[in-house]
A and B are shown apart, each in its own frame.
Chain A
Amino acid sequence: MSHEQEQRNISHKKAQKAQKEAHADQGLSTTISDEELAEAMRQEREELEKTWARPGGVWGWFTDTDHKAIAKRYIVTAFVFFLLGGIEAALMRIQLAFPENHFLNPDRYNQIFTTHGTTMMFLFAVPIMTAFGIYFVPLMIGARDVAFPRLNVYGYFVYLIGGLLLYTAFFMNTGPDAGWFAYVPLSGPAYSPGKRVDIWAQMITFTEISALVGAVIVIGTAFKMRAPGMSLNRIPLFVWAQVVTAFMIIFAMPAVMLASSFLASDRLIDTHFFNPAEGGDAILYQHLFWFFGHPEVYIIFIPALGFISPIIVTFARRKIFGYVALVLSLISTGFIGFGLWVHHMFATPIPQMGQSFFTAASMMIAIPSGVQIFCWIATLWGSRLNIKTPLLFVLGFFAIFVLGGLTGLMLASVPLDLQIHDTFFVVAHLHYVLIGGSVFPLFGAFYYWFPKWTGRMLSERAGHLNFWLMFIGFNLVFFPMHQLGLNGMPRRVYTYLPETGWGTLNLIASIGAFVLASGVLVFIVNAVWALRAGIVAGDNPWGADSLEWSIPSPPPNYNFHNIPVVQGRYPIWQATADAPIVRGLNTKKRETLVTSVMDAQPELRFDIPGPSIWPLMVALATAVTFIVGIFTPWAFLFGAILAGITLTCWFFADPNYENKQARETGQKSEHVAPRAELQPKEV
C-alpha cells in the first residue's frame, strides 16, 4: 500500500490502542469496532474544521489569524518585492552595460540602487525567512498554531504598509537616494533635502517592528508549544535556525531603530546627533547602523542554513551527520555575528588596534560555517542521491556560498579591505553570500515545500532549467565583478569613463543579469502552471522525516488532529505502530498543548485566540503615527493615543476562542486536497 495509506493505518491503530488502554484503565473491557472509531474520528475532524475555520470574504482577509495563511501572504508579498528589486537591478545593469550610458540620469540611478538595496534587505530577505518560520515552525514541532496569532497579523500589516510607503514614494520620484545604509552627513538634513530620507527612515521602523514581531512569535512557539517528547535535542535543525535568527533579530533591530530614529529626529526636529559642529559624530551613525547591519546579513543567511539541513537529510536518506555540531555552529554563528560590525568601517579613523579585533572575529566566523559545510558533505557522502530540484539548489548553494565566504575572508583583513572596500569586489562578495547563501536555498525550499503548501509538485524539468539559468546567469553577473573591483571600479557609480577599460566586464555582467532574470521567470511560470496542473503530491512526496510531512498537503487549518508524541529527531522515520498520541484537546474551541522548554513535558492546555479585527486597527494606528511623523513630530503624540485606544480594544475584546463568527459562515473551513485520481503527467 502507499506511504500515505500506511500512515493512516498507523494513526488509526494508535487511536484504537489508546482507546483500549484508556478503557482498560477504567476497568472497562469493551472494545469498539473499527467503523465506530473511524466515525468518531471523522466527527472530531468535522468539529475541528468548524472551530479552526478561516473567516471568508474581504472582512475575513483582514481578520484571519491562521499562521499558514499569514505566512503565505508574507511569502507572496516578499516575492513581489523580490521581483521589484530584481527589476531595479536589471535597470542598473542596463545603465552600467556601457560607459557613459544615458539610460538613467544620476538622480534616478541613485534612487534605484538605494531602493534595490532597501527592498532586498528589508522588504524581501528578512520577511520571507520569517515567513518560512511562521509557516513551518508550528508544523515541525507539532503545534496547532503559533503562540501569538493576532500579533502575527499585526506584523504582516505593518510590513505591508512599510513596503507600500517606500514604493509609493519611489514611484512619485521621492524615493530615498542616499544608499540602503544612508550614511550621514549625506543623508542628513543639509545634504538630502526633502522627505526622501525621512521616508526611508520610517520604512525602517515598519519593517523592524514586523521583524521583531516575527522573532517573538518564533521564540514563543518553538520553546513552549512543542509536541510532547520533542526535547530540545530533538528539534529539527530548521527550527533551531529560526530560533537563533529570532534571537539575533531581537538584539540587532533596536540598533537600526536607534540609528534611523536619530536620523529622522536630526532631520525633523533639529537635533544634533550626527552634527560634528555641535558635538555630534558622523561615525556614531555608522556604528549604530552596522551593529545592526552585520547581524542583519546573518539573519538573512541562518534561516537558509535551516532549509539546507532538511533537504539534505531527505535526499541522502540518512540521519544528519553531526547534529550537535550543526546546532552549536548555528548558535556560535549567531553569537559571533554580533562582533564583526567594524569590518564595514575599516576606512574610518578608528585606531588600527581596535580594527584588528574585528579582523580576527570576521575570520573566526568562518569556522562554524566550515563545520556546517563539512557536516553536510559528510551526510551526503556515500548516499545514493536522486538529484531532484531542491537538492540541485542546495548543491548550487555549496558552489556559490563557499566562494563568497572565501572572498569574505579577504575582506576581513584590514589592509586588503582598504583596497577592495566600497568597490565592485564587495558587490560580488555580498551577492555570492546572499544569493548563494540565501536565495539558492530559498528556491530549493520553494521546490521542496511547494507540495506541502499547495498539494501539487512543481515540474522537475522546469526546475532543472530554472536552476541552471539562475546558476549560470548568477555567475556571469557577479564573477566578473571581483575583477572589476580589483581594477578600481568603486560602488554606487551611475556610470564610468571609457578609458577605465571596465566596459567589457560590465557588459558581460549585464548580459548575465538577463540570464538570471530568465531563470526567475521560469520559476514563476513553473509555479503558476503547477498550481493548476502539477502532479498531485500526497502527504509526503519526498519521504521526509519531519512532522509537517505527516499531515495532508495542504495542511488542514488545525494542522494536527492528534498531536503525536515524538520519539526521536526523525519523527516519521522513527514512528512505531504503537506510538502514543495526545488526546483530550478541546475541539469546540481553539486549543493547543503547551509544554516545558527543555523536555517538552506537557504543562497546560492553551487557548488560542481566533480571528480579530484589532491587529489591523493597531497596525493602522502605527501607520498613522509613523507616516504622519515624517511631516510633524506631533504625530507621535496623537498616534500614541490612537495606538493606546486600539491596543486597549485588542486586549479587552473577546479573544474569539470558539471562532464564533467564522463558524457560522464556515466558508473556508476545509482545505481540499487535489483528488489523487487526477494525476497530470510530468511535463
Chain B
Amino acid sequence: MMGRISTTARLIATLVLALCFAACGGIQNAINPAGPNAENISRLWWLMFYVCSIVFVLVMIALLLALRKRTVEAADRVPVLEPPEESERRRRNVVISLTTITVIVLFVFLIASYSSGRSLRLNDPTKNGLSIDLTGHQWWWEVRYNDVDASNIFTTANEIHIPVGVPVMFSLRGADVIHSFWVPNLAGKKDLIPGKINTIWLQADKPGVYRGQCAEYCGLQHAKMALWVVAEPQEQFNAWRQNQTQQAVSATSDAQKRGQQVFFSTTCVMCHAINGTPAGSNVGPNLTHVGSRHMIGAATLVNTREHLAQWIKDPQTFKPGNRMPQNNLSDADLQALVEYLQSLQ
C-alpha cells in the first residue's frame, strides 16, 4: 500500500509543480529580475530553493525508509525499552552529524543573506541618480520628482518613469496609513509609514514596463493600489521629464473648452489639481498630464476614452469604496470632459 501511495503522491507533486512553473515569468514577478536589486535577491532565492529542496527530499527519503518495515500486528507487542547499545550509538552519531550539517547549512544561508543584504546598500546614490518622493495615500501613489533646480520639480501620480541603468532613490512616506512600495521585477519592498521616512533605491537594467502593487493592507481598496514603473532610455526619459515639468496644455478645441468648464464647475476641481489653471487641490491625483498616463485609477483600468468616461461617471463600480464619488454628468458634458482630460498630455 505504501508503494502505491508513494506513486500517487509523486504524481500529484509533479502535476502541482508543473502547473506552478507554468506560471513562471512575466511582469510583477520576483524571480524575473530586471534590475540589480531584484537580480541579487533572485540569486539568493535560487540558492536557498535548491538547497532547501535537496534537504526536503532527503528528509522525506529518510522518513520513507524508516517506514519500510510495516506490520499489521496488534498493539500488545512487547515494547523495546533497552534497544541494543550498538544501534543506539549509531543513531546518536547520525543525529549529531545531521545536526552539524544543519548548522553548517544555516551558516551558509546566513552568510549568503548578509552578503546579499550588503549589496543592496547603495554606496553613493545621488551621484548621477534620481531622487523621487513617493507618498502613499489611500489608495493611490503620489510621485514627486525632486531636483536641485526648483523649477524642475513636479508631481504626478501612479506612474513612475525612470531612465534605464540609473539608480533611483525613493523617499517613502505614508500620508494616512501604512502602505508598501513593491515592484517585484526591480527590488524588494519597503513600507510607507506615517511619521517616518523610509528609503529604497532601485534600478532597471532593461527598458520595459514593470508593475508594482501596494503590499501592506491599507483598507478597502488595498487590492487595487498598483502602479507602473516605466523604464526607458535616458533621452526618452529626459523628454518625458521635460514635458512633465510644463504646465497643462491649454484647451484649444470647443469640446476641450467645454470640458474644462465642466471640470471647474463640478466636483472635479474640489480634489484634483491641473497646474497652470486655478485647480490646485492636492486631495486626489494630479491631473496635469493625465492624458499621457497608460492607466487610471492606480493601474486599475487602461487609459482609454471609454474607460475614462466610465471611471468618471462611476468609479465605485471599478473600485468600490475608493474616495472618488460618482458624478452624474450628462453624456455631452462627460464626453467633453474626457476630451479635455485626454488632451492633457
Give the Cβ gap from A500 to chain B, nearest Cβ, in Å. 6
Contacts of B219 in A (CB 8 A): 110, 186, 191
A-B pairs, 4 with minimum CB distance = A276-B195, A418-B188, A488-B28, A543-B75
Docked CA distance A490–B28 (Å) = 11
Docked CA distance A594–B116 (Å) = 56
B91 on the A face (CB < 8 A): yes
B19 touches A422 (CB 8 A): no
B106 on the A face (CB < 8 A): yes
A261 on the B face (CB < 8 A): no
B308 on the A face (CB < 8 A): no
A589 on the B face (CB < 8 A): no
A461 on the B face (CB < 8 A): no
Contacts of A399 in B (CB 8 A): 60, 63
B275 on the A face (CB < 8 A): no
Contacts of A366 in B (CB 8 A): 102, 106
Contacts of B103 in A (CB 8 A): 367
- B window 56-81: CB within 8 A of A: 56, 59-60, 62-63, 65-67, 69-81
B75 touches A402 (CB 8 A): no
Q: A106-B320, A363-B109, A482-B20 are in contact. List 15 more A-B contacts (CB 8 A).
A: A3-B76, A314-B75, A322-B95, A349-B198, A356-B117, A360-B110, A367-B103, A371-B99, A383-B80, A418-B190, A488-B211, A490-B222, A495-B223, A543-B79, A570-B81
A172 on the B face (CB < 8 A): no
Docked CA distance A502–B28 (Å) = 11
B79 touches A402 (CB 8 A): no
A384 touches B62 (CB 8 A): no
| Identity of the chain B residue whose Cβ is nearest the Cβ of A406 in the assembled complex | B52
A183 on the B face (CB < 8 A): yes
Q: Can you name 22 A-B residue pairings with CB atoms under 8 Å?
A: A349-B197, A382-B87, A383-B80, A384-B71, A386-B75, A398-B60, A402-B55, A409-B109, A410-B52, A413-B113, A414-B113, A418-B190, A420-B30, A422-B189, A422-B217, A482-B20, A483-B20, A484-B23, A485-B30, A491-B217, A493-B222, A495-B224
B95 touches A378 (CB 8 A): yes
The 8 Å CB contact of B184, one of A185, A276, A419, is: A419
A277 on the B face (CB < 8 A): yes
- A window 483-510: CB within 8 A of B: 483-488, 490-497, 500-502, 504-505, 508
A480 touches B20 (CB 8 A): yes
B332 on the A face (CB < 8 A): no
Pick the interface stretch among A29-37, A471-479, A630-638, A673-681: A471-479
- B window 167-182: CB within 8 A of A: 174, 176-178, 180, 182
Pick the interface stretch among B37-45, B158-166, B253-261: B37-45
Docked CA distance A363–B102 (Å) = 10
A385 on the B face (CB < 8 A): yes
Give the Cβ gap from A546 to chain B, nearest Cβ, in Å. 12
A170 on the B face (CB < 8 A): no
Docked CA distance A488–B27 (Å) = 8
Contacts of B133 in A (CB 8 A): none
Docked CA distance A411–B193 (Å) = 21
Contacts of A349 in B (CB 8 A): 190-191, 193, 196-199
A472 touches B73 (CB 8 A): no
B19 touches A347 (CB 8 A): no
B interface residues, Cβ below 8 angstroms from A: 2, 12-13, 16, 19-24, 26-31, 38, 40-41, 44-45, 48-49, 52, 55-56, 59-60, 62-63, 65-67, 69-81, 83, 87-88, 91-92, 94-95, 98-99, 102-103, 106, 109-110, 112-114, 116-117, 120-121, 138, 174, 176-178, 180, 182, 184, 187-191, 193-199, 211, 213-224, 300, 320-321
B189 touches A377 (CB 8 A): no
A415-B117 contact, Cβ under 8 Å, with A317-B79, A488-B213, A543-B77: yes
A403 on the B face (CB < 8 A): yes
Docked CA distance A152–B70 (Å) = 42
A57 on the B face (CB < 8 A): no
| Identity of the chain B residue whose Cβ is nearest the Cβ of A408 in the assembled complex | B52
The 8 Å CB contact of B176, one of A191, A325, A542, is: A191
A649 on the B face (CB < 8 A): no
Contacts of A370 in B (CB 8 A): 98-99, 102
A294 on the B face (CB < 8 A): no
| Identity of the chain A residue whose Cβ is nearest the Cβ of B183 in the assembled complex | A488
Contacts of B211 in A (CB 8 A): 488, 500
| Identity of the chain A residue whose Cβ is nearest the Cβ of B42 in the assembled complex | A419
A352 touches B121 (CB 8 A): yes
A386-B73 contact, Cβ under 8 Å, with A409-B109, A482-B20, A490-B213: yes
B88 touches A321 (CB 8 A): yes
The 8 Å CB contact of B215, one of A277, A387, A421, A540, is: A421
| Identity of the chain A residue whose Cβ is nearest the Cβ of B17 in the assembled complex | A479
A504 touches B19 (CB 8 A): yes
Contacts of A479 in B (CB 8 A): 16, 20
Give the Cβ gap from B331 to chain A, nearest Cβ, in Å. 26
Docked CA distance A356–B111 (Å) = 11
A107, A374, A423, A496: which has the most chain B beta carbons within 10 Å?
A374
Give the Cβ gap from B323 to chain A, nearest Cβ, in Å. 12
Docked CA distance A409–B193 (Å) = 26
B180 touches A347 (CB 8 A): yes
B190 touches A380 (CB 8 A): no
| Identity of the chain B residue whose Cβ is nearest the Cβ of A179 in the assembled complex | B217
The 8 Å CB contact of B66, one of A190, A348, A380, A412, is: A380
Contacts of B176 in A (CB 8 A): 185, 190-191
Docked CA distance A352–B72 (Å) = 56
Give the Cβ gap from B315 to chain A, nearest Cβ, in Å. 13
Give the Cβ gap from A385 to chain B, nearest Cβ, in Å. 6
Docked CA distance A508–B18 (Å) = 13
Docked CA distance A44–B23 (Å) = 70
Docked CA distance A574–B78 (Å) = 11
* Binary contact readout A408-447 vs B (1 if CB under 8 angstroms, 0 otherwise): 0110111111111111000000000000000000000000
The 8 Å CB contact of B41, one of A409, A418, A500, is: A418
A384-B12 contact, Cβ under 8 Å, with A186-B178, A321-B88, A374-B98: no
| Identity of the chain A residue whose Cβ is nearest the Cβ of B40 in the assembled complex | A415
Give the Cβ gap from A615 to chain B, nearest Cβ, in Å. 38
Contacts of A402 in B (CB 8 A): 55-56, 59-60
Contacts of B69 in A (CB 8 A): 382-385
A281 on the B face (CB < 8 A): yes
A282 touches B45 (CB 8 A): no
A413-B91 contact, Cβ under 8 Å, with A349-B193, A490-B182: no
Give the Cβ gap from B70 to chain A, nearest Cβ, in Å. 6
The 8 Å CB contact of A377, one of B24, B66, B102, B112, is: B66
A41 on the B face (CB < 8 A): no
B218 touches A348 (CB 8 A): no
Contacts of B198 in A (CB 8 A): 348-349
Contacts of A277 in B (CB 8 A): 195
| Identity of the chain B residue whose Cβ is nearest the Cβ of A371 in the assembled complex | B99
Give the Cβ gap from B130 to chain A, nearest Cβ, in Å. 21
Docked CA distance A350–B73 (Å) = 58
A409 touches B48 (CB 8 A): yes
A395 touches B222 (CB 8 A): no
A171 on the B face (CB < 8 A): no
A542 touches B75 (CB 8 A): yes
B217 touches A183 (CB 8 A): yes
Give the Cβ gap from B167 to chain A, nearest Cβ, in Å. 17
Give the Cβ gap from A449 to chain B, nearest Cβ, in Å. 15
| Identity of the chain A residue whose Cβ is nearest the Cβ of B25 in the assembled complex | A487
- A window 80-111: CB within 8 A of B: 105-107, 110
Contacts of A550 in B (CB 8 A): none
